[in-house]
A and B are shown apart, each in its own frame.
Chain A
């Protein structure tokens, strides 16, 4: 009875804490300006099922894709086991699904065990890739000690959770063999039966191990749940809404700013009545609030895998730009802005901004807008859109661009071509063969 009450207390506090942190992130995302992504629901559903649920964009890197699939499948399927643990925990039952499911239960537990083992294999391989093989995309300027530790913590926690699950089953398996009361005959143990011989055979001790592992497993999961909002691992949740709200237009299509259309049309036709616009009071983005909510959702979805940066032509050739850093900077700045709101109220200004305090001019101007980053992202994040919004601010609000870029603008304006040629010479190509 005490155990049940304790369990409920843990479960409720973990849920409340998680709910509060998710609400905070939701509030932060909504600090972004409006953007309509409610069209084409069927296409959105298809994209989400394919890209997030079906992991379709992971396949470009087969080794990572297979290992990641172990973790992903393990996470999704072993959650069915968590449901049983929750019911057992609340009602003081043991393996409550065994009776209603009958022989199916054995298959379920058996497959969970195999998945748990595969998850451990996947995590070990990932740890080796990060810490021993030191694969290039896991390093970089933005991969400071926290992002690196974060990745390792996640992998270690997952190994511990899966180990506890297998240890729990091994003890349960032995207790079942000893016909120990309360431990009903249920489940198949294709993996943990091999751990069983390594266990003490004393029944009281086994109960202690089984209970200990059970508590470790579920408290671990509750703690891990509350680690998510502070970690790149939050992608396991965000991948789904983020792919739902994907950009469905061709990648080369940059949005036409309605605020500018209003100004240009008013200039061409004084009787023109401006249309309502979603964009803020300034052109482009200086800080996170000037970006759209989708840019901000992208930032919370990023799991720092570095596929974007590893295919970025600027980054490959040693420039400062790293699309992953653009996403991490956006998220870190947004977290800072959110914390400021919590501590000092919503109108507080800290005198900092995304552009300059986090992302430098040198970074945004190194982009070739080639879309390699957006193509590479397994969860359809768009770093390019943020870069363009920052450029828009630099150019239209500050008139800050390289002299050569400014003269390109001047040439287009005056000659209708980015180079200094006379418009009257435009058709000369037809003559000089």
Chain B
């Protein structure tokens, strides 16, 4: 694999070029150490298939999702309008996000504020690339026969009806795929949505991620696949809580794709 090069929109513009797709990294993908790795893996996939992409780099700013879910519509719209101004200035047409929350906000809540883009989540990009034959699962780690389960992120699944795309990335692995008891439209939240990621939970009998982890451990997977940086944090914490890090790996579908292709 050649060295990872990540061009910014500003650099491309300076060269008079424009990318096929803008990769919207998101805050978690930019700052969270675990999510940064997933961010780089998404770039590796884009580079591997030769898709011309760019990021906003330091010009990117929060979509406003957590502010909106927490009721701060002002802050959300301030963020949205600034982002839209930037995206429109770069004449962005297509966006891939590394986070279902950014995906949902950009796709559903930006259009009526003046931001109209084709927005996909990275699982959908992987699905497209597999369907086009540009991406396979070869040349890397074999997942053959491994027991893998998938945790549906709320903002990808129920919120936007994307259930098949992330599963497509797992189906090509020739692994043993098992569904959780609560999956797809019945999926159980990891506990981080609606700004919960940034606050202590209300008093209760247990944390939501523990409830979810118990369900995951019940199917005894070798890998639990995630598709959201917040789910990644919650599930990793849950698995750690049960001291099962050795038995169960929590991997984003982008990481699995990169591993399977040896990128």
Contacts and interface: CB of A to CB of B under 8 A. Distances in A.
A37 B30 CA distance: 39
Interface in A34-68: 60
B254 to A, nearest CB: 13
**Listed residue (B25, B71, B194, B202) with the most chain A CB atoms within 10 angstroms of its CB:** B71
Interface stretch (A15-23, A24-32, A362-370): A362-370
A60 B8 CA distance: 47
Interface in A243-283: 249-254, 256-257, 260-261, 263-265, 268, 283
B2 to A, nearest CB: 13
A103 interface: no
Nearest to B189: A370
Interface in B53-92: 55, 57-58, 60-62, 64, 66-75, 77-81
Interface footprint category on A: 35 or more
A250 B211 contact: no
Contact of A368 (B25, B104, B194, B203): B194
Given A253-B104, A417-B30, 17 more contacts: A249-B108, A252-B155, A264-B81, A313-B211, A317-B201, A318-B204, A320-B203, A368-B192, A372-B154, A375-B158, A395-B70, A405-B70, A416-B79, A426-B57, A427-B30, A429-B39, A430-B43
10 contacts: A368-B193, A368-B194, A369-B69, A394-B71, A407-B198, A412-B62, A421-B31, A425-B31, A426-B30, A426-B31
B74 A371 contact: no
Interface of A: 60, 249-254, 256-257, 260-261, 263-265, 268, 283-284, 311, 313-314, 316-321, 362, 365-372, 374-375, 388, 390-396, 401-402, 404-405, 407-409, 412-413, 416-419, 421, 423-430, 432-433
B196 interface: yes
A409 B72 contact: yes
Contact of B62 (A60, A366, A416, A432): A416
B17 interface: no
Interface of B: 4, 6, 8, 25, 27, 29-31, 36, 39-40, 43, 55, 57-58, 60-62, 64, 66-75, 77-81, 104, 107-109, 112-113, 154-155, 158-161, 185-189, 191-208, 210-211
Contact of A314 (B4, B55, B81, B204): B204
A412 B79 contact: yes
B189 A418 contact: no
Contacts of B161: 250
A304 to B, nearest CB: 21
B194 A369 contact: yes
A251 B158 contact: yes
- Nearest first, the 8 closest Cβ-Cβ pairs linking A and B are A252-B159, A318-B205, A391-B71, A369-B194, A416-B61, A253-B108, A318-B204, A370-B189
A368 B154 CA distance: 9
**Listed residue (A391, A413, A430, A432) with the most chain B CB atoms within 10 angstroms of its CB:** A430
A260 B74 CA distance: 6
A319 B201 CA distance: 9
B199 to A, nearest CB: 4
Contacts of B70: 391, 395, 401, 405, 408-409
Contact of A256 (B40, B69, B77, B203): B77
Contacts of A260: 73-74, 77
B77 to A, nearest CB: 5
A250 B155 CA distance: 10
Nearest to B182: A311
Given A366-B201, A404-B199, A412-B66, A426 B60 contact: yes
A318 B72 CA distance: 27
Contact of B191 (A256, A362, A368): A368
Contacts of A390: 71
A417 B57 contact: no
Nearest to A312: B189
Nearest to B200: A404
B31 A427 contact: no
A237 B75 CA distance: 40
Nearest to A318: B205
A433 B159 contact: no
Contacts of A249: 108
Contacts of A404: 198-200
Contacts of A433: 4, 40
B205 A313 contact: no
A402 B199 contact: yes
Contact of B154 (A256, A370, A416): A370
